[in-house]
Amino acid sequence: MATSNVLSVLPRGSAHTSGVVLLALAALSGGCATRNVISDGDDHRLMLRGNDPVAYVTEGRAVKGRPDLKADHDAVTYRFASEGNRSTFVASPDRYVPAYGGVCSNGANYALKTAVGADTFKVYKGRLYMFGGPGALKHWEMDPDENIRLADGYWDNEMKDTPNKLQNLKRWVFRVPHYKSDAELEAMWQARQKGKQAARSANAPGR
């Protein structure tokens, strides 16, 4: 990436000069992937670790696709478990592609592009979201609509075409104002669980 492009993704502020140095080094070090892809066999930009994107929505589970049944969309490759699923995808790919290029949806709301596996997911309002694990999913589920609003904005305005490593370094140096660590999110989740338990106890028969 050219230095001018590196500068264009940097927010202005007191740390701008040091940020330029860090981000320029990240850009020069390689790693230009903008989606959560792997290389497997003949497929060098394979999405969802080779899982079938349609099966997440129609079967509610991760299903391995076949290397001989695949389709390209938006410069990446998807595999399918059946010809029927492949035809369904080709007819309407935007219904089945994962949000935010397949990175963790509980990082996208902080403008981070965290590479994750393809087993922990949520189909919410007809859209596929991927997560780094059950903890990330439960934290995201505390406020899914707000998390989607935030992540959609970051994706459209700064994340979509920025290399993953560059985007992550940028947002570790310049964190979004509402950033929360895993520990902070877990504390919030635990507090909510205690609140729900207390409400159930208060409403139990005989009280």
pLDDT of residue 201: 77
Whole-angstrom Cα distance, residue 169 to residue 191? 31
Whole-angstrom Cα distance, residue 35 to residue 148? 18
Mean pLDDT by 10 residues, the chain (207 residues): 41 52 52 90 97 98 98 97 98 98 98 97 98 98 98 98 95 96 96 89 72
pLDDT of residue 19: 56
pLDDT of residue 21: 54
What totals of helices (H) and strands (E) does the chain contain, helices first? 9, 6
